[in-house]
Structure 1
Amino acid sequence: MPVGILGGLRRGSANPPYDYDNNKVFEEDRAMRESMEFDVVIVGAGPAGLSAACRLMQLAAEQERALEVCVVEKGSEVGAHILSGAVIEPRALDELFPDWKERGAPLNTPVSEDRLYLLKSAGQAIRLPDPLVPKTLHNQGNYVASLGNLVRWLGEQAEQLGVQIFPGFAAAEVLYREDGSVKGVATGDMGVAADGSRKDSFEPGIELHAKYTLFAEGCRGHLGQQLRRRFELERNADPQHYGLGIKELWDIDSARHQPGLVIHGSGWPLQGDASGGFFLYHAENNQVVVGLIVDLNYVNPWLSPFDEFQRMKHHPVLKHYLEGGKRVSYGARAIAKGGFNALPEMVFPGGLLIGCEAGTLNFAKIKGTHTAMKSGMLAAETVFEALVDGDEGGRALEAFDERFRASWLYEELYRSRNFGPALHRFGALGGGAFNFLEQSLFSGQLPITLRDRDEDHARLRPAADFSSIAYPKPDGLLSFDKLSSVFLSNTNHAENQPCHLVLKDAEVPVASNLPCYAEPAQRYCPAGVYEVSGDEREGWRFQVNAQNCLHCKTCDIKDPAQNIVWTTPEGGGGPNYPNM
């Protein structure tokens, strides 16, 4: 029988009740809170949230109206938790700040060349001729950039416009009015010990009240998940689908560096039902970003996305650029790739879901920055109109749907609606051929809509159906271990705080997941958060190393029992990505 289980415990007892949808907190803590009033509160200082904030203040300036807008960000600074490839399409930025070049936006490396490869084996690859590459993967007019740096720049623009930004404060609870509409959010308490007691540094959270609240937490947002359930926002949508993106930043030999070169590919080492794709982008200053996106609908519980990425870098297509270079940063983040078919209803009484919180990434382009920004701008225009009309916290935001349907964002996502389902249904070759025909010859207008209604976690099959995967040991030159990788992410969480990775049932990992799936958490997590130790005779032990958590949300998505709930740790914790 199990020796014990660590981690995932909330305040006060070994197995306390916890209301995941109604944010159970202690009443004495709530009574200690102070409150602040705003016109609009935005949760998350990413591209969607900051674009919404900027657009709101632009509209207020145009109409000479006073407006109080607040952005609350759980990262230690704006951009600290931002992770993306990234090749950025400037379409939304052109609309938000037409003079962005003069303002110094950090888009300095235009795409110079696209290449698309199919990796057949550890040593073989086929480069697809440009005419056979789907239009959505052509990047003329786009830029290789650090999304984190772009977000930092957007934060500067927002503050210059009068937006109040509070980094280091995690929105931990949704607040509701008596009529059920969203009233705002409360930040988490600071200085709470792991056993629930108050440390000397204890500070209660702050309530941020607003006429409207925009949720821009990014993919699989903790509060967004609660809102989806409370208001049944997914009742007309397919299940959301996800990929785990793992990324590294490298300094490479200047002789191998080609500024603006964009390389995409798929195939090896992902095999069988596992799918995804890699990227390698040449940025400025002799740096490249390299990464692998693994679709989280894979079926083999022995698969480790982190280890697949590490061995992928040994393929000659990538090794050619990385060999002799130095890895300088590492990170991982889940992406929402369900696209148009998986979009929830974004509007609810008192607010909206925007950006990757809603799932606006265009997987056909492998891009979500411009779509996230546009969704935030559309939300800002809708909210401002409601405020002008005097609808404070009411239900007039239905106008967003009409505005969304009339936008290029809707058209772009609709045209790509079949891209992901085709790959899942027909595989890389069949799905790729379908997508080439639909995107390049029919511009996404075929009169059919493919569906993908199997949830990612439900696809996992028993470990006994597969042989375990023997991954090669890292060589310390091209491939590395998890702990040295996490070190490069600058991840840090305050010691002695409640574990933010909550187990609904502490017995499930050892009693259920281990015998059936060989407890896949120890492999799907790209940061070594979850470990299983012990043996059959002495018993097995499930360990949660929450201090390693990159906030990627993979555990919340892929756990086959849906037993792990990602909640907000103390504000300011997590990774601190530079130039990512």
Structure 2
Amino acid sequence: MEYDVVIVGGGPAGLSAAIRLKQLAHERGAEVSVCVLEKGSEIGAHTLSGAVMDPRALQELLPDWRERGAPLDVAVTEDRFLFLSERGAKQVPNWLLPDNFRNHGNYVVSLGNVTRWLGQQAEELGVEIFAGFPAAEVLYGERGEVKGVATGNMGIGRNGEPTDSFQPGMELHAKYTLFAEGARGHLGRQLMERFSLCEGVDPQVYGLGIKELWEIDPKMHQPGLVIHTAGWPLQSDTYGGSFLYHLDNHQVVVGFVVGLGYTNPYLSPFEEFQRYKTHPEIRRFLEGGKRVSYGARAIAAGGLMSLPKLVFPGGALIGCEAGFLNASRIKGSHAAIATGKMAAEAAFDALRSARRNDVLAAYPEAFGRSWLKEELHRARNFKQWMSKGLYTGTLMVGVEQKLLGGRVPWTLHHRHSDHERLKHASRCKEIVYPKPDGKLTFDRLSSVFLSNTNHEENQPAHLTLRDASTPVRVNLDRFAGPETRFCPAGVYEFAADADGRTSLVINAQNCVHCKTCDIKDPTQNIVWVTPEGGGGPNYPNM
């Protein structure tokens, strides 16, 4: 199938690019064919974010978003930032909060619902959206340029052979292909290696965000209240924090982010999140309520200094695929929309000038002149400071952001990827986590059930190993099997067979596509590849 532009990923970045392409075509009286591929069963099925949304980029893309019925209904009414100890909490006076923690003018949203709405806007403009079709392979032309993607085959059995329901994948050829898979994209990773897009930049670093949606007692509900915390239950040398946002309809979203650069292999982000909910300042909102949904997703947190080159012959990286999230604000949707729009404008101009498969240099040039570049530049040291520990990080972020407004002459750098940071288990103290109570705290399997995760069982596992012996020989022996703890979905477990031989069991059916294993595995032996289309979570209102 031939298109002018193929977009891989139906999130905010990909859909915004599609919308902008069609807007420009209508404005100029041109014909531009645009296709969006989405691996989830529907648009929004795999979209997970906090989220407090800055509407600035949406205003630029669709100035009449209110009239169009965009689901930005709950304006932020109050910010609270708490430092937690095990039993206590100290609130930072609002006058002391730097601008990155001020949310006046922003909205508490379900990003999944915003994404579904963006999909409707794109389809009304004539964008073709194929949900349930993951892009599994990048296609290259004779000169080595990207010429499109191929979707995965359907109906391949666990043994790798076609079943009775086999359907071959499709090749989608395009003059330009935009990649918007989200953080740690499967194809984006390949493109970064092939075109050396990360040369000369800091290693990308990530956090794992875990989130639950709750219906709570109406007496405890305050629409628009935004709470962030730092400190307990994490040790002061481990980067992380929490969010609790009040939506409408007596619902709140509660979540926890743990930086994947942590060093103790016994740490479990999932269990740390469960412990966090037991803090008196948090449990008072949740007690008597009902957990509705659960999900997890890795986020790219390296910021400006970890951005790869954005373009290559025939295509570009947009949104979280490139790592545009502003970790200091815990926001990425506005950056995704903005970069999708910029890349679309560059692609449209290139199509109009009859250039083919060249490098869209106008896109990074537009980013270099943008408010987004300025915003990320001011926040460029945030994650680096916070990686030095809670107290040092808090002090220096306060100096940079509150006193100096982000205008500082120094720049800090990340030196190591997250998978390089684990210490040997023999050097670390084991962490004993309390058992879940089934009311406020829960286990992994009951949580995955609420994510509506499903994969066709008779298919090759999409969590692959470069070397099947490494999990036991290295990970279990040296690091006490960290994959059983860093996975928030219970995918990995070590089991002994009848002869007493231990091996790694991969329960790929449980995978919520968070990408943590692909990031944190200390030997980079686990490689996440695309499963059969439509598999994975089906998040409602997340």
TM-score range, shorter chain: over 0.9
Which residue in the other structure is 1:408 paired with? Answer: 371
Deviations 1:437-481 (A, max 9, x none): 211222211000011111111010011112211100000110000
Which residue in the other structure is 1:70 paired with? Answer: 35
Aligned mate of 2:405, from 443, 467, 481: 443
Aligned mate of 2:203, from 225, 239, 251: 239
Aligned mate of 1:209, from 150, 167, 173: 173
Instruction: Write the distance in 1 (CA, Å) between the matches of 2:72 and 2:215.
Output: 19
Instruction: Write the distance in 2 (CA, Å) between the matches of 1:55 and 1:343.
Output: 23
2:153 maps to 1:189: yes
Instruction: Write the distance in 2 (CA, Å) between the matches of 1:96 and 1:90.
Output: 10
Which residue in the other structure is 1:564 paired with? Answer: 526
2:108 maps to 1:138: no
Instruction: Write the distance in 2 (CA, Å) between the matches of 1:467 and 1:547.
Output: 32
2:143 maps to 1:179: yes
Instruction: Write the distance in 1 (CA, Å) between the matches of 2:405 and 2:190.
Output: 36
Deviation at 1:61, TM superposition (A): 0.5
Matches within 5 A, 1:320-335: 320-335=284-299
Q: Does the 8 Å CA contact 2:237/2:390 hold for their aligned counterparts?
A: no
Deviations 1:29-70 (A, max 9, x none): xxxxxxx00000000000000000000100011100011000
Which residue in the other structure is 2:48 paired with? Answer: 83
2:10 maps to 1:48: no
Which residue in the other structure is 2:437 paired with? Answer: 475
Deviation at 1:139, TM superposition (A): 0.1
Which residue in the other structure is 1:229 paired with? Answer: 193
Instruction: Write the distance in 2 (CA, Å) between the matches of 1:400 and 1:163.
Output: 21
Give 3-state SS (helix, strand or coil) of 1:165's partner. strand
Instruction: Write the distance in 2 (CA, Å) between the matches of 1:448 and 1:535.
Output: 55
Please report the TM-score for the alignment, with normalisation by the length of structure 2: 0.99
2:275 maps to 1:275: no
Deviation at 1:537, TM superposition (A): 8.0
Which residue in the other structure is 1:392 paired with? Answer: 356
Deviations 1:87-129 (A, max 9, x none): 00000010111110110000000000000001122x1111111
2:23 maps to 1:58: yes
2:466 maps to 1:501: no
State the one-letter code of the partner of 1:115: R
Which residue in the other structure is 2:322 paired with? Answer: 358
State the one-letter code of the partner of 1:371: A
Deviations 1:495-545 (A, max 9, x none): 210010110000000111111001100000000000012399822121000
State the one-letter code of the partner of 2:469: E
Instruction: Write the distance in 1 (CA, Å) between the matches of 2:364 and 2:494.
Output: 47
Deviation at 1:133, TM superposition (A): 1.4
Give 3-state SS (helix, strand or coil) of 1:435's partner. helix
Give 3-state SS (helix, strand or coil) of 1:440's partner. helix
Deviation at 1:404, TM superposition (A): 1.0
Give 3-state SS (helix, strand or coil) of 2:387's partner. helix
Deviations 1:327-382 (A, max 9, x none): 00000000000000000001000000000000000011000000111000000010
State the one-letter code of the partner of 2:426: A
2:115 maps to 1:151: yes
Deviation at 1:227, TM superposition (A): 0.1
2:84 maps to 1:102: no
State the one-letter code of the partner of 1:428: L
Instruction: Write the distance in 1 (CA, Å) between the matches of 2:195 and 2:164.
Output: 39
Q: Does the 8 Å CA contact 1:81/1:574 hold for their aligned counterparts?
A: yes
Which residue in the other structure is 1:431 paired with? Answer: 393
Q: Does the 8 Å CA contact 1:214/1:354 hold for their aligned counterparts?
A: yes
Deviation at 1:272, TM superposition (A): 4.6
2:408 maps to 1:461: no
Aligned mate of 1:169, from 116, 123, 133: 133
2:345 maps to 1:420: no
Runs of at least 4 residues of structure 1 off by over 4 A? none
Q: Extract unaligned runs of 5+ from structure 2.
A: none
Deviation at 1:223, TM superposition (A): 0.1
State the one-letter code of the partner of 1:408: W
Give 3-state SS (helix, strand or coil) of 2:271's partner. helix
Q: Does the 8 Å CA contact 1:273/1:299 hold for their aligned counterparts?
A: no
Which residue in the other structure is 1:92 paired with? Answer: 57
Aligned mate of 1:249, from 205, 213, 228: 213
Deviation at 1:290, TM superposition (A): 0.1
Instruction: Write the distance in 2 (CA, Å) between the matches of 1:273 and 1:538.
Output: 38
Which residue in the other structure is 2:480 paired with? Answer: 518
Aligned mate of 1:540, from 494, 502, 505: 502
Q: Does the 8 Å CA contact 2:236/2:391 hold for their aligned counterparts?
A: no
State the one-letter code of the partner of 1:351: G
Instruction: Write the distance in 1 (CA, Å) between the matches of 2:170 and 2:499.
Output: 49
Please report the TM-score for the alignment, with normalisation by the length of structure 1: 0.93
Q: Does the 8 Å CA contact 2:198/2:309 hold for their aligned counterparts?
A: yes
Instruction: Write the distance in 2 (CA, Å) between the matches of 1:72 and 1:535.
Output: 41
Instruction: Write the distance in 2 (CA, Å) between the matches of 1:525 and 1:201.
Output: 31
Instruction: Write the distance in 2 (CA, Å) between the matches of 1:538 and 1:190.
Output: 37
Instruction: Write the distance in 1 (CA, Å) between the matches of 2:160 and 2:365.
Output: 47
RMSD between aligned alpha carbons?
1.0
Instruction: Write the distance in 1 (CA, Å) between the matches of 2:232 and 2:97.
Output: 19
